[in-house]
């Protein structure tokens, strides 16, 4: 089969252009991920701080984890890191149908 007949070369897109094509439909009152502060406080490495590409995890002034679920791009990095390297204080599920991140093509 002549694959090149069906596939076009990928276009280079800048990060700004990619982010500009990302939309969120926030399911107010129904966060699709939650943290258990009682587990996070004893998590020494806090890998969620380092793996989330959109930085939805941060430390507050008191050194506690603060999470913003609304801007989650659903890559799954934080849940894998938390399960494998953290204290399993993060729970995550896909947003309800129609909610969450949406990547606009074109």
CA distances, 37 to each of 12, 33, 49, 64, 65 (Å): 41, 13, 14, 8, 7
Least CB distance to ligand SF4 at residue 54 (A) = 15
Shortest distance (Å) from residue 98 CB to ligand SF4: 26
d(CA 103, CA 17): 11
Contacts for 43 with CB less than 8 Å, ≥ 6 apart? 65, 86, 87, 89
Closest by alpha carbon to 95, among 2, 48, 43, 26?
26
Give whichever of 30 and 58 is closer to ligand SF4, judged by the CB atom: 58
Question: How far is the C-alpha of 73 from the C-alpha of 103, rounded, in Å?
Answer: 9
Q: Whose Cβ is closer to ligand SF4: residue 48's or residue 72's? A: 48
Contact set with ligand SF4 (CB under 6 A):
35, 39-40, 43, 46-48, 65, 81-82, 86-87, 89-90
Closer Cβ to ligand SF4, 23 or 91, answer by number: 91
Q: How far is the CB of 31 from ligand SF4 (least distance, A)?
A: 13
Q: CB nearest ligand SF4: which residue?
A: 86
Nearer residue to ligand SF4 within complex by CB, 31 or 46:
46
């Amino acid at each position: 089969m002549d694959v090149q007949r069906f596939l076009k070369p990928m276009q280079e897109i800048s990060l700004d252009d990619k982010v500009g094509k990302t939309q969120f439909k926030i399911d107010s009152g129904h966060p699709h991920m939650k943290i258990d502060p009682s587990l996070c406080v004893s998590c020494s490495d806090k890998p969620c701080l380092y793996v989330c590409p959109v930085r939805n995890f941060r430390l507050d002034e008191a050194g506690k984890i603060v999470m913003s679920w609304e801007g989650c791009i659903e890559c799954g990095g934080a849940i894998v890191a938390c399960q494998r390297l953290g204290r399993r204080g993060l729970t995550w599920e896909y947003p309800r149908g129609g909610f969450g991140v949406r990547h606009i093509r074109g």
